[in-house]
Amino acid sequence: MKVAAAAYRLDWLESWADYETKIAAWVVEAAGQGAELLVFPEYGAMELASLGGTAVAADLEAALREVDRHRPAAEAMHARLAAHHRVHILAASGPVYDVAHAGDRPVNRASLFGPDGPIGHQDKAMMTRFEREDWHVVAGQGLKVFDTALGCIGILICYDSEFPLLARAMAEAGAEILLVPSATEALAGFTRVRVGAMARALEGQMIAVHAPVVGPVPWCAGMEENAGRAAVYGPPDRGFPATGILAEGAMDVPGWVYAEVDRASVARARADGGVLPFRHWPEQLPQLSRVIRQGRRPDSA
């Protein structure tokens, strides 16, 4: 199947119709190229803050709440597009004020849609410093994997990809494809997520689809600078490129990046790869109780 990873730039929207037109155009383009799985980035939904006007978009708390206000309509729109084009879409994540779970603070939620309707959502598990200290976004509750016609899919939102135990739990639950939407303001942050996604593909012998926000957004609080490139990764092993990179776009250039992926290659790598990190993972565990610190620290001057 063909997957499409978005390098996505946030735009100022004068109306809800502008947002519908934009997302529809992105979906039409990818579906027209034969993509069956479309992945939008973390916090891509923040462009909806513009619908509240300049003062709302420039105020962090007001922007978060404005985006959440449009969530029901955005979810309905993505469901319609997925059904009409017979594709799977991971919509851009955004803040959700889930009062039952988090009270008056939002989670960062990415929702997955298929040809037959909504499939489910994943809330970000690990909060970055700006989410903890400035945005006061809170962690979701638990991890999910989604059985779909395209395979078993897990979602690691940005910083989540830097924590191997999360991906391992998903792999053990059956995940073959990891979707990694991200939003990072600088090259260093993008590199951390990129390295994390590639490492998770290596360890779990699976496919990772990385979709970032790109470009400056001076009018939106918290999203002013964004760096990244879209890419699709696999384990650097039999059936995959030696670099582990199936496809990648240019740095900070908006647009889709496409890759042909094969679930059977994941199964073959796990069964008979040149190395078997997925199978050999449990062999680490007995070693963890045998860490011995040796040598002598030099005296401080």
Residue 16: predicted pLDDT: 98
Residue 293: predicted pLDDT: 86
**Other Cβ atoms closer than 10 A to 117:** 10
The C-alpha atoms of residue 182 and residue 92 are separated, in whole angstroms, by 9
The C-alpha atoms of residue 222 and residue 217 are separated, in whole angstroms, by 9
The residue ranges of the chain whose pLDDT is under 50 are: none
Residue 300: predicted pLDDT: 58
The dihedral sign for the CA sequence 139, 115, 198, 279: positive
| Alpha carbon 221 to its chain's center | 21
Residue 62: predicted pLDDT: 97
Q: Which pTM does this prediction carry?
A: 0.96
Question: Structural domains in the chain?
Answer: 2-288 (3.60.110.10)
Partner residues linked to 5 by β-bridges: 39, 257
Residue 100: predicted pLDDT: 75
